[in-house]
Amino acid sequence: MSHYASNGTHVSVPRFFRKLQKRLQELQRRLSRTEKRTPAYRKILLALQKVHYRIKCQRMDFLHKTANGVLEQADYVVVEDLNIQGLKRRPKPKKAEDGSYLPNGAAAKSGLNTSISDVGWYTFVQILTYKAIKLGKKVLKVAAHFTSQDCSACGTRVKKSLSTRTHSCPDCGYTANRDFNAAQNILGLGMQSLGVNP
């Protein structure tokens, strides 16, 4: 997984939780099968807590270093004002006419929610913002609506699914990575809010 900036650079996001997910699941299974309040239970619980702590430390180290790198290159940083809790909301159950439940994509949504949490976007923006304030710099938040759909070259709205990773405009012919196109739109919105031509 990677995130693009408006200057074409991109940062690959390590999936710290994903890398240790099997280990966590194994410890959780062992814990559930072990009698509570025993030395064996406490030992497994401690091992589980250590893995979670390791993931947290790795993620925070990555987020701090990434924020420092971003702020070394810019005085103004524009980010999407994402509703993280909204993105992680469970899909509503779907019922058939006979009362049975239909597939609603809950399994796929669960995987997406794990990835969203693993990235730590909300925490990153918090870190970026307080570091920017200390340095006399500014982080601007802009609405996320249609940033990946609109063409950054001509403004045409080009609908695409999440699986479509390339933006290709049928009107002006502009082609770019989907995330880079979105980054250009986000920068444009930020510059507009400042009254500056991008």
Mean pLDDT of 166-178: 93
Distances (CA, A) of 187 to 118, 121, 140, 141, 174: 25, 18, 10, 10, 17
Tens digit of each residue's pLDDT (9 = 90 or more) over 49-81 = 999 999 999 999 999 999 999 999 888 899 988
Tens digit of each residue's pLDDT (9 = 90 or more) over 109-118 = 444 445 556 6
Distances (CA, A) of 3 to 50, 61, 176, 177: 29, 17, 14, 11
The predicted model scores a pTM of 0.72
pLDDT for res 64:
94
pLDDT for res 198:
54
CB 166 within 8 A of CB 178: yes
Side chain identity at 97, as an amino acid letter?
E
pLDDT for res 109:
42
Under DSSP, the state recorded for 150 is B
Does the pLDDT of residue 130 top 70, yes or no? yes
pLDDT for res 193:
83
